[in-house]
Structure formats: C-alpha cells, structure tokens
Chain A
Amino acid sequence: MNDVLDFERYELREELAYRFTPDRREFLQTLGAGLLFVFAADAQNAAPETRIHVGENGHYTVLTGKIEEGQGARTEIAMAAAEELGAPLSRVTVLMADTSQVPNDGITAGSGTTPRTIPAVRRAAAAVRKELDKSAQSVTPADWKVLGTPQVRTNSRDIVTGAHQCPSDVQREGMLYGVVLRAPAFGAKLLSVDEKAAGDVIVVRDGDFVGCAAPTSFSARQALHKIAATAKWDVPTTAVNSTNLFDHLKAKAQSGAASGRNRPIEQGDVDAALQQAQRKLEATYTAAYIQHAPMEPRAAVAEWRDGSLTVWTGTSNPFSVRDQLAQAFQIPAAKVKVLVPDFGGGFGGKHTGEAALEAARLARAAQKPVSLRWTRAEEFTWAYCRPAAVIEVRAALDGNNAIGAWDFTNINSGGSAIDSPYKSVAHRIRFLPSDSPLRQGSYRALASTANNFARESHIDELALAANMDPLAFRLQHLDNDRIREVLQAAAQKFGWKDRVGKKTSNRGIGLACGIEKNSVVAACVEVEIDPRTRLPRLLEICEAYECGAILNPLNLRQQVEGSIVMGLGAVLGEGLQFERGRITNARFSAYKVPRFHDTPSKMDIVLVDKKDVAPIGAGETPIIAVAPAMANAVFAATGYRPRSLPFAPVPARA
C-alpha cells in the first residue's frame, strides 16, 4: 500500500473502498413548527446555512455537521449557543450530523471544532438573539455564564441508563445482520468461492466484495464460515514484517519528495555546523504502528427505500461518507442520507466509511435494513493505523551551550509538531514519506507524539551534555513564551527543583514539553522500573496545559486525563505485530492497552486559562508530553535511554 500522508492535514487519501455494480433488478424521508434561521456563514464559506431552530416552546435546536465521539463537541456547542442566546443550557439541544438537515461543518478532526465551529455557532446564536431582542448585547468572555463553567455531557443520563443508541445499537424493522468475507492477508485477491455453500441466507458477491446477511449475526457468521471454507485466494508474498519494518521504511524513504508541503524547514548550513561541532549527539528513534482501538468497532445500519439510502454509522466525516456512498452506488448524493449517532470513540480512527458501504451493499441485495458491525479482530486488522516512524536526530552544542546544529528527519509518520520550538544556529527539519506496508492514517495528535518524543528525548541529552538541569536548559533555549509558562507551571506544582537530582532506587523523574495545533503542554513525571518487566510504571504525573480561553473545564480535564493514559499505552506496550500480510496480535489479549492498574495514582492537571486568547481545540495535544517525559525519567532512574515507542525493557544492570 502506498497511501499518501498529507503533510499538514495528514488525512488518509485512498481509492474508494468499493465500487459496486449498479443492479436495477435489486431495487423495488423533523423539526416541528417554529423559526428556522438561515445565515450566511463565515466569509470563507459564503453558502447560507441553517444553524439554529427556535421552537414555539422557546426551545432552541442547534444544527451542526460535527459528531460526538466522547470528545465533548455536543456539550461545547450547546454551551456556546446557550451563552449567546442568553438561555439556560437545558433549553438547547444539538442536532448533529444528519446530512439531510445540518450544515456541512466538515470532518470532526484536527481539533477543529473549537476554533472553527464554535465561533460559527456563537455568531449564529448572537444573531438570533439580536433578531428576537434588538437591544441584546454581544457577550464577551468576561461575562460568560455558561461557557467557562464545568458541564457534564448533555446526554450523559441516557448513557448511564443504557438508553443511548450508538451506531451498533440502531435497530430497524425487519433488520438483518451482515458479515463480510475478509482476505486472509493484505492484498490477497479472491480467485474463487462457492456462494451457494452458505445455504439459505442472503449472499452478495460483487467484485472482491463477498458478504452474507441473515436474521441473527450468529447465523450470518455460520453462513460466512461455510463460504470462507470454499474460498481460494491469491496471496501476495511480502518480506516486510514488524521486525524488519524500520529498515524497510528507511530504505524506502523518499528523500526526493521534499517539495511543496514537505519542503524542509532550513536555516544555515547544518552539515557544516555538525562537522565543526565538538559536542555532537546522534540517535535514531522509532515508533511502532498502533491502532486506535475505540471501544465500539466500526458499525453501520443501512436501509434502502425507493432508491434512496439512509445509513446510520460512526464516522467523523459524515458528508464525505455520504458522497462515498453516492459514488459507490452511482446515485445522486441527494438520495443518500447519513446519520451519525454519538458513537463509542474514534481518536482519529473513524474518518472513513467502510462499514457504511458494506452494510449498504448487503441491504440493497436483501431489500431489508442491514446492521453490520466489525469484530474486534476486523477493527485491529482492517482499520487504518497510526503510522510507524523512524526519526533521525543529529544535534550539536557550541561553546556557549547554544544548540549549534539541529538536524531532524521524520521518516513515514508525518510532519505535525516537527518544527522545533528551541532556538538553534543552524537547522534542517524534514519529513520524508516512505512505503508503508500497513494502511495508515490519522490518530489523536498523529505524528506529533513521535516527533515530540524524539525531540524532547534529544533535548534532555543535550542538557546532560551541557551539564545543565533539563528544566533550566529548556527555559534557556525555548523560543516560545507560552511553552515556557506551562513548563514552569508544571515544574512548580510538581516540585521539580526540590526533587531533581535526588536519587531513589529504581525511581526517576523527567519532564517534557511541546506545542501542537497552537496549544501548549508540559509534563513532569515520576516513574518506577518494575523489577519483573523492566518497564516503567508511571507513579505520578503533573501536566500543565494551555489552549486559550477554556470553554468547558470539566471536559477539558477529561480530555487531558484521557490523553495522558492513552499516551501511556503507546509507551508501555501498544504495537501492531505483523507478518506475511497478517496482523498477528489483533486482539486485546495480545495487544495491550492501558488498564486501571496502569493509571498513575497521582495525576495533577494544571489548566492555564487565557480568557483573552481565542479557544483552541484540546482533544489531542495533551498526549504529546507523556512519552518523552517518561523516557527522560527512565534515563534518570537507570542511565538507560528508551528510544522506541513502545519502550523496550530496561536492560538488567551488568
């Protein structure tokens, strides 16, 4: 596979997963009365959009193309509207991601809801209020009554009672359950299959797509097993596996591709500076492929009626999935409606619409609604993953302990947070795409985790070479006051100055900081090396974070805490293993994600609230400081420096 990773937006771009044959033989439409306000939206998007509905009962409905996957968009949007409408939060409902009713707010990704959708909602709500009450004044952050207060997710009652229906819970009259025949290895081509082997169920073969639909998922699986037993495949040979992956990525690095968005960030002659330098440090860092593994695997329910298609599915990109469906079935987009019920997690992993296409294909054949839910193994194997990385860093200190040279190359994983916030005399910073053996795409903070891991580890080494406290070294070299502020906040709360350099057996402290998507983070940690696994346990973390004016402090804390523990997973043991085109650990018993016992018993979160700075999205950046802070702490504890994600066990002392 050779998916092109967009340098800045890093979206997965690939061919439509399926292009189905049109088969005519198989074929045989809200809100109540009230006022619907239509606005010309942002200057850059002049199309008028319907945004707010004012019900006769004084209840407001905000319409948005954004989705809710646990990150807090639903509540944040309701709060923004309530604030500007001067209404209590309980009188605002948010209708999300029904492509037949809501404006296209684009994909829910890249921490974009807070900086882009929230202002649009606030403008619309303020305009509605002006319309209803000419004397209304616009609200400034100093007068916020709803925004800036901690609010629980508006529909959380339905969650604790089990009433909320995720995409995999949607049920329709007469619905069947679908399953899809999967190839035994990536790139395998189906040579032959006996579809009749399934018995009395709906079977579809359309090109490489083979699937069954039956009244229960159990009977659908049974039928599929029978078909699978008859399938003959042409399995391509591939020599790339998880053990030689990094050599492969290096060998295939496209150094010639350094143009356009992938142009290196360069200043001075870094090669000459390195040659002349006395104190040089060179290291290679790696990051394994990891999966998002949201608790709810991909799922969709599809229903055809008179040539029109309705699909309920868990995707961050509802309008794109609508268009994919229209393309795959060769019908106008106006005949396709995609609805996204709040779903069970994504973390950047559900930007696509595979399950929607599959369910719709089966539903067309069955002439009944079909629910199709991926299994955990399918999710591990066939969903795209976070790109693996090889990162080469060469750096030098000059006589005054300034960073004389900084040469940083990310191979394969992407350019987010690749730029260094530290002053250097000469530098060259670049991203080189490579040939990825696995399907790769977005992930929470994407490449910034790996880039920050390599950079912040290396900065620690430079501090050591300069014989300086890593905190002091950073404060001296940082070229960014906002990072400096969170770093000092974290260090103070953690008590860094009193704790640094104190030796406790098998324990160490470390720190790291960074910037991504315009928000800044710093973490101080204490780790202990487990004598059995030789891996660190995170005992304590103090993370300071600043993302402008805080909209919902409760949700922000949840995002920061979740990011920390999710980031811990990529440190401690997450990594896809693969061989001969197969993922060999496609299950939670073999692919270890963080559990309760991994969670640090002390987790201090310092939120720096900047009321005068426009709010910045916060679901991603808090993840990037965890790995390097822990690597630096492992070094402080043992003298061994982890250079891979996940960390290798600390070698036992000689």
Chain B
Amino acid sequence: MAEFRFTVNGKPRMVNTAPERPLLEVLREDLHLTGTKYGCGEGQCRACTVLLDGKPAITCMLPVKNAAGRKITTIEALAPGPVLHRVQQAFLEEGALQCGYCTGGMILRTVALLEATPRPTEAQIIQTLDGSLCRCCGYSRIVAAVRRAANDAVSGGDGR
C-alpha cells in the first residue's frame, strides 16, 4: 500500500492503495466515479476512457501509481453545471446512444478530438474513434454527433 495524490475533476484527491491497481478500479471503487466503464481490460474497447492531463487515456491497464500527480477528468465532470457540454448535447440530439455503456468514453474521445482538430474530416473521425467499441453498433450516429458538435462549435454553439 502507498499514498497517491492526483487531481480528479478539479479536486485534489489522495488514495492509499496497492500501486498496481488499475486506475479504472480506483476511480470506480474508491472515488465512486462509475461513469468510467469496464468493457474488456485489454485496451480494445476504450469504455474506460478518461482525460489524463487533457489527453484521452484508457484506465483499465493503467496502474494507479502512473497517474500520481496528474489531472484526471471523467465524464461526470464534463458539464459541471446544468448546461451540457456541446458534445454531450450533440450525442443527445443525434440519438447517438442505445444502451449508453460506451457513451461516456465516446464523448471524451470526441472532446479531445475536437480540441485538437476543430473541423475533422469523416476519415479523421473514424480513425480517432476506431479503437472505441459500441456493441449496440450505433457508429453512424456517433459520427453524426461528432460532426454536429464540430459544426456547433464553428457556428458559435453555446460558446464552449
């Protein structure tokens, strides 16, 4: 057991735990942030995506010790107030979710993509999200949601 400190959703947090424990399980079991999901444990589905220092990262294979000192953002903190983030809003409007289990991970990947590439081409969207699985197979709507979010940003949207 050892102590690890990091910033989670803007707040400093400390956990005392086994260093090899996957960050995913620490977030879910110790910090009760269950919006980050387990889907495979082998880096194949990206349901366990968070933003680590602003970049998307999978957490199922990331030992908690490697997250020490870093900034973690989970889906729960994307819209701190009652107004949804434009990417969340776009997923809602396009009906880009069925069971919703993959949705948090998809949204965080999209947020990071649009930050780096505000007007992604279809090929860029597919390439960026290809590592993320949706077993409800709602891929075409997810792509449409990404496009909508990109267009909303360019046309001003809600300014975020």
Contacts and interface: CB of A to CB of B under 8 A. Distances in A.
Interface of A: 69-72, 150, 152-153, 156-157, 159-166, 168-169, 171, 177, 216-219, 292-297, 342-345, 347, 373, 375-376, 554-555, 557-558, 561-566, 568-569, 587-589, 593-599, 601, 603
A97 to B, nearest CB: 15
9 contacts: A70-B101, A150-B95, A152-B93, A152-B95, A160-B84, A162-B104, A295-B101, A587-B42, A594-B139
Contacts of B98: 70-72, 153, 345, 558, 562
B100 A597 contact: no
B34 A165 contact: yes
A107 to B, nearest CB: 18
Contacts of B143: 596, 599
Given A345-B136, A599-B140, 13 more contacts: A70-B101, A162-B36, A166-B101, A216-B29, A292-B135, A294-B99, A295-B101, A295-B136, A296-B39, A373-B38, A554-B95, A588-B42, A596-B142
Contact of A596 (B18, B88, B91, B129): B129
A561 B140 contact: yes
Interface centre among A557, A562, A603 (most CB of B within 10 A): A562
Interface of B: 17-18, 20-22, 25, 28-30, 32-42, 44-45, 47, 74-76, 78-79, 84, 88, 91-93, 95, 97-104, 107, 122, 125-126, 129-143
A636 B32 CA distance: 55
B99 A216 contact: no
A561 B76 contact: no
A181 to B, nearest CB: 18
Contacts of B28: 169
Contacts of B17: 216
B111 to A, nearest CB: 12
Contacts of B138: 558, 561-562
B59 to A, nearest CB: 13
Contacts of A217: 25, 29
B35 A561 contact: no
Contacts of B38: 168, 297, 373
A276 to B, nearest CB: 46
Contact of B126 (A168, A554, A555, A597): A597
Contacts of B39: 295-297, 376
Contacts of B88: 160-161
A145 B71 CA distance: 48
B21 A218 contact: yes
B78 A295 contact: no
Given A595-B130, A599-B139, A163 B95 contact: no
Nearest to B30: A216
B99 A157 contact: no
Nearest to A293: B135
Contacts of A555: 95
A558 to B, nearest CB: 6
Contacts of B29: 177, 216-217
B101 A296 contact: yes
A575 B20 CA distance: 34
B108 to A, nearest CB: 10
A571 to B, nearest CB: 13
Contacts, number: 184
Contacts of B37: 166, 168-169, 295-296, 344
Given A294-B135, A562-B138, A588 B45 contact: yes
Nearest to A564: B137
A596 B126 contact: yes
Contacts of A593: 133, 135
B141 to A, nearest CB: 7
Contact of A561 (B84, B91, B99, B141): B141
A161 B84 contact: yes
B66 to A, nearest CB: 15
A561 B100 contact: no
Contacts of B103: 159-160
Nearest to A559: B98
Contacts of B134: 295
Q: Which 8 A-B pairs have the closest CB atoms?
A: A162-B35, A70-B99, A344-B101, A162-B75, A565-B137, A159-B100, A169-B34, A70-B98
A177 B34 CA distance: 14
A341 to B, nearest CB: 11
Contacts of A164: 100
Contacts of A343: 99, 101
Contacts of B75: 160-162
Q: Which of A165, A345, A557, A564 is packed against the most chain B CB atoms within 10 Å?
A: A345
A156 B97 contact: yes
B97 A345 contact: no
B99 A160 contact: no
A295 B42 contact: no
A180 B76 CA distance: 31
A558 B95 contact: yes
Nearest to B18: A218
B112 to A, nearest CB: 16
A403 B135 CA distance: 39
Contacts of A163: 35, 76
Contacts of B141: 558, 561
A295 B47 contact: yes
Contact of B137 (A152, A153, A566): A566
Contacts of A589: 42, 44
Nearest to A599: B139
A588 B133 contact: yes
A603 B140 contact: yes
Contacts of A297: 38-39
Contact of B135 (A71, A295, A375, A599): A295
Contacts of A71: 98
A86 to B, nearest CB: 26
A160 B91 contact: yes
Nearest to B122: A601
A445 B11 CA distance: 48
B122 to A, nearest CB: 8
A297 to B, nearest CB: 8
A295 B35 contact: no
A596 B131 CA distance: 8
A160 B137 contact: no
A595 B133 contact: yes
A557 B44 CA distance: 27
